[in-house]
Amino acid sequence: MFLGYEMEPKELQAAVDEANQKALGILLASQPVWTDVRQAIEVLPGMTKSTILHAGPPIAWDRMCEAQRNGVINGILYERLADARDEAIRMVEEDKVILAPCHDYGTVGGMAGITTASMPLVQVRNERTGNDGYSQLFQGPDVQAWRSEDYSSAAVKQWCYLEQVLGPALQGAIRLRGGLDVKSLLAKALQMGDECHNRNVAGSALLMREMTPYLLRAGIGRQMLHDSIDYLARAEQFCLTLGMAAAKATVEPAKGIPYCTIVTTMARNGTDFGIKISALGEAWFTASANPVQGLYFSSEWGPQDAALDMGDSAIMETVGLGGMVQASAPALQQFVGGSFRRALELTREMRGISVGTNRDYQLPNLDFEGAPIGIDARRVVESGITPILDTAIAHKAGGVIGAGQARAPLACFERAMEAFSQGPAGATGSRKATPA
């Protein structure tokens, strides 16, 4: 299998094991701290006024799913690069805007993941290594209620609210507070029935508890204060935005380690599922995204309305949370007709494809065992067991209409390991997507 290496198979495996331990050490040592809220254009390297970032691996406009296309159009309208949908679509077709993955610009985005120049991002610093991870602010408590027919105007209005009200309010509060330890927040949430991907009700309530005293004292206007508090009081998934930025800050220093087969990125754009592995740097390996099995929030929706698996939120599983720690959030089994036993079994199964155990994230339902962490693409290919992801279900046209679980497709791990087998030259990486 490993034709491109000038060493014996056994020697190579030892080199991989050693490299994986090194990457594991980096993941475990991560110290993510929420430090600021910044506009994308200010902080993302290479970001321009006419760049529209999206979730998942790179994808051409003509292969993009409808929900993400609508997101791109909304992003163009929101940035006032165009005044109407037709004009926005023409701009894309004429290459007047740059489409690129959030992940390749140092940030992550949930669902369609649309991130544009003016948007406020949470900044989470990995204090161990000094690098920052970013995430768009979560789109808020009303996202579920959006219908496809008004998705466009609702999205743009919501982004304006985030830019003009919530972003500045949180910026003032977190600066006044002098940072917030995200690892400690998520560790507490894990003891309160969250798995920090599909369930964030505990983390979000704790976050509000931590931030409210500072929001009160940040010198922001009365109306802005009330609006921000009302938003946080209802946004039960809000903590995910911090979790995702923290995860991004955590995986970045683990990239580019020679011989390392640990997965450093998993992300979906509603068409393709893409991964990166450490040794191969920024190269994407993709396969077709799977449908999501789950529960719809209203009887008006069903599988025929759903987009395929979408969003950068699989960064949570990449750092050993979400689907990897189902055992901590048995309530989520209600989405998939599961059971407490199934939740425990899935966490045990995920241990089999993981390199290590994260003692900072303890699971009370497993007698405080640590969470599995560090997905080894080699073990995935050998066992045929792929990571299980907790995820929301997007409507084909945009908006969240349900929640459930999806498996990562095996083929992208096979492609990554195939490239890995070509030898260490692969480690220089490529930003181009391999075709699905």
Which CB sits closer to its own copies, 197 or 276? 197
CA 23 to chain CA mean position, Å: 19
The sign one gets for the Cα dihedral 122, 126, 129, 130 is: positive
Complex with its own copies: residue 178 or 435, whichever CB lies closer? 178
Which CB, 61 or 161, lies closer to its own copies?
161
222-234 vs 167-177: helix axis angle to the nearest 10? 90
Helix, strand, or coil (residue 192): coil
Per the listing, tokens 């970045």 go with 252
Q: What crossing angle do the helices spanning 201-217 and 167-177 adopt, rounded to 10°?
A: 80
Q: Which of 26, 92, 173, 225 binds its own copies (CB under 8 A)?
A: 225
Q: Does 357 bind its own copies (CB under 8 A)?
A: no
Taking only Cα atoms into account, the Rg of the chain, rounded to an integer number of angstroms, comes to 20
Rule CB under 8 A: say whether 359 interacts with its own copies: no
Distances in Å between the alpha carbon of 414 and those of 137, 282, 304, 421?
33, 17, 29, 10
Minimum distance from CB of 24 to its own copies (Å)? 26
Compare residues 39 and 333 and give the one whose CB is closer to its own copies. 333
* Of positions 43, 156, 229, 295, contacts its own copies by CB under 8 A: 229
For residue 53, the cross-strand partners are 100, 115
Binding flag, residue 224, its own copies (CB under 8 A): no
* Cα–Cα distance for residue pair 36/107, rounded to 1 Å: 14
Of 42, 174, 194, 15, nearest in space to 106 by CA: 42
Nearer to its own copies among residue 188 and residue 431 (C-beta): 188
- Based on the shown chain and the rule CB under 8 A, indicate whether residue 249 belongs to the binding site for its own copies: no
Q: Are 309 and 379 a contacting pair, CB within 8 Å? A: no
Nearer to its own copies, 209 or 432 (CB): 209
**Least distance between its own copies and beta carbon 328 (Å):** 9
- Cβ proximity to its own copies, 232 vs 246, nearer residue: 232
- Three-class HEC string of 78-144: HCCCCCCHHHHHHHHHCCCCEEEEHHHHCEECCCCCCECCCCEEEEEEECCCCCEEEEECCCCCCHH
Q: Which is nearer to its own copies, 364 or 423 (CB)?
A: 364
- In angstroms, what is the minimal distance from the CB of 222 to its own copies? 9
Asked whether position 233 contacts its own copies by CB under 8 A, the answer is yes
With CB under 8 A as the contact rule, the residue among 1, 142, 216, 382 that binds its own copies is 216
Q: Would you state the structure tokens that stand for residue 86, as one six-digit string?
A: 């037709």
Query: For residues 202 and 242, which CB has a smaller minimum distance to its own copies in the complex?
Result: 202
Which among 209, 200, 210, 211 is positioned nearest to 235, based on CA atoms? 200
Nearer to its own copies, 26 or 329 (CB): 329
Write down the least CB distance from residue 204 to its own copies, Å: 8
Q: Minimum CB separation from its own copies for residue 218, in Å? A: 12
Nearer to its own copies, 123 or 405 (CB): 405
Of 277, 353, 260, the residue nearest 19 (C-alpha) = 260
Interface with its own copies (CB under 8 A), residue from 31, 212, 293, 421: 212
In the stretch 172-211, what mask flags binding to its own copies with x, by CB under 8 A? ----------------x--xxxx------xx--xx-xxx-
How far is Cα 369 from Cα 70, in angstroms, rounded to an integer?
43
Instruction: DSSP for 248-299, please give it.
Output: HHHHGGGTT-TT--BEEEEEEESSEEEEEEGGGTT-BEEEEPPPPEEEESST
What is the C-alpha separation between 73 and 153, in angstroms, rounded? 11
One character per residue 367-406, x = contact with its own copies (rule: CB under 8 A): xx--------------------------------------
Only one of the segments 19-27, 95-103, 174-182, 228-236 lies at the binding site for its own copies (rule: CB under 8 A); that segment is 228-236
The binding track of 310-349 with respect to its own copies, each residue x by CB under 8 A or -, is: --------------------xx-xx----xxx--------
Report the first-to-last Cα separation within the chain, whole angstroms. 21
Q: Site residues (CB under 8 A) for its own copies?
A: 188, 191-194, 201-202, 205-206, 208-210, 212-213, 216-217, 225-226, 229-230, 232-233, 330-331, 333-334, 339-341, 364-368
